[in-house]
Amino acid sequence: MQQPVRIAPSILSADFARLGEEVRAVDEAGADWIHVDVMDGHFVPNITIGPAVVKAIRPHTAKPLDVHLMIAPVDAFLDQFAEAGADTISIHVEAGPHTHRSLQHIRKLGKRAGVVLTPQTPAKALDYLLEEVDLVLVMSVNPGFGGQGFIPSALRKIESIRKMIDKAGLTIDLEVDGGIDAETALTAIAAGADALVAGTATFRGGASAYAANIRALRGG
């Protein structure tokens, strides 16, 4: 069943010189989760942050930290991000040979387990994983950089995954990340998404604009 829409601002678009303040600002502006993009320069062509930054921002919000690991291999880092304060840890089905085992380990750490599909990966990749996850993240851009345009074919994938989740009778968050703005947010929600990652669209205009930006992503 599709749940109320949750907004997860991506700190990738925040002012990193004032990261604690930025996290507090989007929290107060109405964010539901704080999305943390972790890139390794290997699985994706960019390098961002590690567990130390997750640990540093943890005291600045009580909202869930939604940590998206764009790294490979991933298993060696799961414990570190769990200890740093992640609430949800999402891993790419394309990033490792034993996704099922990795998802089980995340849950053993007491964290919510998420699985991520890049644009070329079909919904069918979830066939034997849905029972092991709390969240599915559909990438609507190619991972590695912020500020990209939404890939329309992601909508068909969102629709397919929504049907899979509902048919299985599971309660799983269906999150979309990439090119989300006030317009694409509505189409993603209509396709079945119930959680939206937004970096540029949230952090545009400075702290005084964050509340209005988040309201716009919710459709009003």
Q: What is the pLDDT of residues 175-211, one digit of tens each?
A: 999 999 999 999 999 999 999 999 999 999 999 999 9
pLDDT tens by residue, 66-125: 999 999 999 999 999 999 999 999 999 999 889 999 999 999 999 999 999 999 999 999
96 is in an annotated binding site: no
Query: 18-24, long-range: CB within 8 Å, 24+ apart, which pairs?
Result: 19/53, 19/56, 19/57, 20/56, 20/57, 20/59, 20/60, 21/60, 21/207, 22/203, 22/207, 23/57, 23/60, 23/61, 24/60, 24/61
- Tell whether the model's pLDDT for residue 147 goes beyond 80: no
10 is in an annotated binding site: yes
96 in Cβ contact with 47 (< 8 Å): no
What pLDDT does 87 receive? Answer: 98
Please identify every residue annotated as catalytic.
37, 177
Q: Which CATH number fits domain 6-217: 3.40.50.300, 3.90.550.10, 3.40.630.30, 3.20.20.70?
A: 3.20.20.70
199 is in an annotated binding site: no
What pLDDT does 220 receive? Answer: 66
What pLDDT does 152 receive? Answer: 96
